[in-house]
Amino acid sequence: MLLQIDTLTKSYAGPDGPTEVLRGVSLSLEAGETLALTGESGSGKSTLLHLVGGLDTADGGSIRLDGQEVTRLDDSGRAALRRGTVGVVFQQFNLIPSLSVAANISFQARLAGRADQARADRLADALGLSAHLAKYPEQLSGGQQQRVAIARTLAARPRLVLADEPTGNLDETTAAVVIEEMLALVHETGAALMMVTHSPALAARAGRRLHLRQGRLE
């Protein structure tokens, strides 16, 4: 089992007292499996993704990822988890604006100590970025930027890819192409994918679908 989540809870302080975002979520994910998380805005999808990726800390419950108890890791431990085990694809791409496309693609692999130029080149080629390697992110379209973000994540060979609304900033046609490419590459690398999306069409492409409503899985 790559990922095992048990009775995970999380709440945020609000003006009217704490708001419970996750109310005892439990799920598991095997290596190579793809999972789509759907739900209304505010249902806790992104929060769940952030907790799994160690970007935020849970109030209760447990997250066991690749043999490590994520909820017990300190800041450095969570950073190491994000570097070595997890790869995150964001809705806003989050590329480094002052690095070229080529440098962005190989960046996370270098951080993880797994730099592999041949693999980075293959991914760039597969995602149609070869002609844009010397450009900077601001010179690319939204779809191209998201392809760079996907290439960056997969070049680092993560065990688990977390994708937070990966096509939320793209038009429908581009989104379909990008998600197709991402799923193919994730499958090829043998990584697991946990993807948050509003789109039923996109969710349908995943191997498994779960729906979150008011902090609970249905």
Q: Which tokens go with 202?
A: 């996109």
Burial environment of residue 184 by CB neighbours within 10 A (0 to 12, 13 to 18, 19 or more): exposed
Alpha-carbon span 122 to 188, nearest angstrom: 12
Nearer to other proteins, 16 or 75 (CB): 75
Check residue 75 for interaction with other proteins (CB under 8 A): yes
Alpha-carbon span 174 to 18, nearest angstrom: 39
Residue 168 backbone phi and psi in degrees, to 5: -60, -25
Nearer to other proteins, 30 or 69 (CB): 69
Nearer to other proteins, 20 or 56 (CB): 56
Give the shortest CB-144-to-other proteins separation in angstroms: 14
Check residue 27 for interaction with other proteins (CB under 8 A): no
Alpha-carbon span 218 to 202, nearest angstrom: 18
Alpha-carbon span 202 to 167, nearest angstrom: 9
Alpha-carbon span 71 to 60, nearest angstrom: 8
Residues 134-173 vs other proteins: string with x where CB under 8 A? --x-------------------------------------
Nearer to other proteins, 30 or 171 (CB): 171
Check residue 73 for interaction with other proteins (CB under 8 A): no
**3-class DSSP state of 139:** helix
Nearer to other proteins, 14 or 113 (CB): 113
The residue ranges that bind other proteins (CB under 8 A) are: 50, 53, 55-56, 75-76, 79-84, 88, 90, 94-99, 103, 107-108, 110-113, 136
